[in-house]
Chains A and B, each alone.
Chain A
Amino acid sequence: MNKNEKPRVWISGAILAVLAAICTALVAITHSTTAPRIAANAQAYLEKSLQPVLEGLEYDGKLSESTLLIEPPHELPGTGPVTVYRVYADSAPVAALFVVTAKDGFTGPIKLLIGIDASGAISGVRVLEHRETPGLGDLIESAKSDWIEQFRKRSLADPDREVWAIKRDGGVYDQLTGASITPRSVIKAIKETLLYFEANQEQVFADAGDKES
């Protein structure tokens, strides 16, 4: 065995350790300088994405102030805890905005924001996060097509809950060309949320003062 072998390994290890420390420092510095901005972006994005599902409704206060966290197990789509933004006008319930996760998207979970007004009708739906196929499944994004708009003002009575499905499955809703799994999963999540709201409306709007965050 070469005499130089042992120190060589140690030197290599030391070089690697120094480089790792430098690289970690680089990432840490970038993280600490960008973190506030990233958090602000996420908050601004949330506030902005809550607006479209509230179109035409009168409400007061900041939107993200009265939130409710529904812990599992629950009947809502998704297995994790569900955040609900509650909207009031003069302490009378106006709408509840559910952030739910449709588990069965084509390429992973689809995070949805579903607004339901006090009468049980949809005030709007928006896709918050998804990984659906560009050009096909991603047409569920409001920026890419107006497919998601067809749910506005719909409820479990209009159309009848039996036909809450895409046309191919005997329902009333438009599908997307080349993608049927994505719309199917979105519609299922909306329907489940409506069913939950119908059964638990009292609890959703109750104790507004207690759980402010």
Chain B
Amino acid sequence: MSETTGITSKLRSGIWADNPGLVQLLGLCPLLAVTTTFVNGLGLGLATLMVLTFSNVLVSATRRWIRPEIRIPMYVLIIASLVTALELIFLAYFPALARSLGIFIPLIVTNCAIVARAEVFASRNTVSASFVDGISMGTGFALLLCAIGAFRELIGHGSVLSRLDMLFGGEPMSGLVIVDGGFLLAILPPGAFISLALFVAGKNALDQRKQKTSRSVSARRVR
């Protein structure tokens, strides 16, 4: 397998086949809590992507010193300091978004998707492989956050892409308002669960259809 196909298959696995949110169902607390709008999803998605990539690289770089009995404290130290540094950077450069995401930036520490990647991948693989793994898993998680955010914003507020200024600067903008007001349930906590369930169901339905067409019914996944 050449280097490029390795990276493509890694990306495919992070974004689709082993998506941390859709398939591994990890990191659901931030996923469900902040995805009320697209920009919130994008902001937290990018933050998680950065932390995941850096933590993978750091864990992988230090893996020869990692001993089984102290590995969890080491992961926690690395991830917690990365998140703290990132929170300070957000406060300094994206103050509006930091206010909007609030407690969920520090809570990236508790995103089990990050510890999970450190444990099952980064601590056993090379720095470059861990970097690619962090990028692909992080991208998968960020894309899911954006998709759920956009979906809930559309249903709940009747708008898309509002308040992008929180991330990119400029005047406050209301985005594309399609209908005034929306179906409130979508932005409430139950709406978060329902939206995630719809996305998971949609993904499984697509996978199943693909499986049927390739006639590999016998390879049905056992959960």
Residues of A within 8 A of B (CB): 8, 11-12, 15-16, 19-20, 23-24, 26-27, 30-31, 34, 37-38, 41, 45, 131, 133-136, 143, 177-178
B:80-96 near A, CB below 8 Å: 80-82, 84-85, 88-89, 91-93, 95
Known: A15-B67, A26-B81, A41-B95. 12 other contacts (CB 8 A): A12-B69, A15-B74, A23-B80, A23-B81, A27-B81, A30-B84, A34-B89, A38-B95, A134-B37, A136-B184, A136-B188, A177-B184
How far is A130 from B49 in the complex, measured between Cα atoms in Å?
A: 27
Shortest distance between the CB of B156 and any CB in chain A (Å): 6
Give CA–CA (A38, B88) in the complex, Å: 8
Q: How far is the CA of A124 from the CA of B203 in the complex (A)?
A: 49
Q: For residue B181, which residue of chain A has the nearest CB? A: A177
Q: Is B202 an interface residue (CB 8 A)?
A: no
Known: A12-B67, A135-B157. A30 touches B184 (CB 8 A): no
Q: Which of A15, A37, A41, A134 is the most central at the interface, judged by chain B CB atoms within 10 Å of its CB?
A: A134
CB of B78 closer than 8 Å to a CB of A: yes
Q: How far is the CB of B153 from chain A (nearest CB, A)?
A: 9
Is the Cβ of B74 less than 8 Å from the Cβ of A45?
no
Is B67 in contact with A26, judged by CB distance below 8 angstroms? no
Min Cβ gap B186→A in Å is 9
> Which interface residue of B65, B77, B92, B188 has the most chain A CB atoms within 10 A?
B92
In the bound complex, CA of A69 to CA of B187 (Å): 39
Note all chain B residues with C-beta closer than 8 A to A37: 92-93
| List of A residues within 8 angstroms of B69 by Cβ | 12
A114 vs B138: C-alpha distance when bound (angstroms): 42
Residues from chain A with Cβ under 8 Å of B92 in the complex: 34, 37-38, 41
A74 CB to closest chain B CB (Å) equals: 28
Known A15-B67, A135-B156; judge A34-B88 contact (CB<8 A).
yes
Task: Decide yes or no whether B139 CB sits under 8 A from chain A.
Answer: no
> Does B175 count as interface, using CB distance less than 8 angstroms?
no
Shortest distance between the CB of A31 and any CB in chain B (Å)? 6
Q: B151: shortest Cβ distance to chain A, in Å?
A: 14
Q: Which residues of A contact B81 (CB under 8 A)?
A: 23-24, 26-27
Alpha-carbon distance A132/B137, docked complex (angstroms): 31
Q: Give Cα A38–Cα B36 distance, bound, in whole angstroms.
A: 26
Whether, in the assembled complex, B62 has its beta carbon less than 8 Å from a beta carbon of chain A, the answer is: yes
* B103 proximity list for chain A (CB < 8 A): 131
Q: Could you write out 6 A-B pairs with CB less than 8 Å apart?
A: A11-B67, A20-B77, A23-B77, A34-B88, A34-B89, A38-B92
Shortest CB-to-CB span from A20 to chain B, Å, is 6
Q: Is B190 an interface residue (CB 8 A)?
A: no
Question: Known interface pairs A12-B67, A41-B95, A135-B157. Does A19 touch B77 (Cβ–Cβ under 8 Å)?
Answer: yes
Q: Is the CB of B78 within 8 A of A23?
A: yes
Residue of A nearest to B40 (CB): A134
Query: What is the bound-complex CA distance between A143 and B163, given in angstroms?
Result: 9
- Smallest Cβ distance from A122 to chain B, in angstroms? 23
Question: A30 to chain B: which residues have CB within 8 Å?
Answer: 84-85, 88-89
B166 nearest CB across to chain A (Å): 10
Q: How far is the CA of A26 from the CA of B188 in the complex (A)?
A: 38
Which residue on A lies nearest to B77, using beta carbons? A23
Q: Which partner residue on chain A sits nearest B66 by CB separation?
A: A15
CB contacts (< 8 Å) of B188 on chain A: these are 133, 135-136, 178
Closest to B94 in A: A41
B88 touches A31 (CB 8 A): yes
- Cβ contact of A135, chosen from B36, B73, B74, B93, cutoff 8 A: B36
What's the Cα separation between A15 and B69 when bound, in Å?
12
Taking CB atoms, residues of chain A closer than 8 Å to B67 are: 8, 11-12, 15
Task: Give A15 to B70 CA distance when docked, in angstroms.
Answer: 9
B170 at the interface (CB under 8 A from A): no
Top 4 closest pairs, chain A to chain B, by CB: A135-B187, A23-B81, A34-B92, A30-B85
CB proximity to A under 8 Å, residues B31-65: 36-37, 40, 62, 65
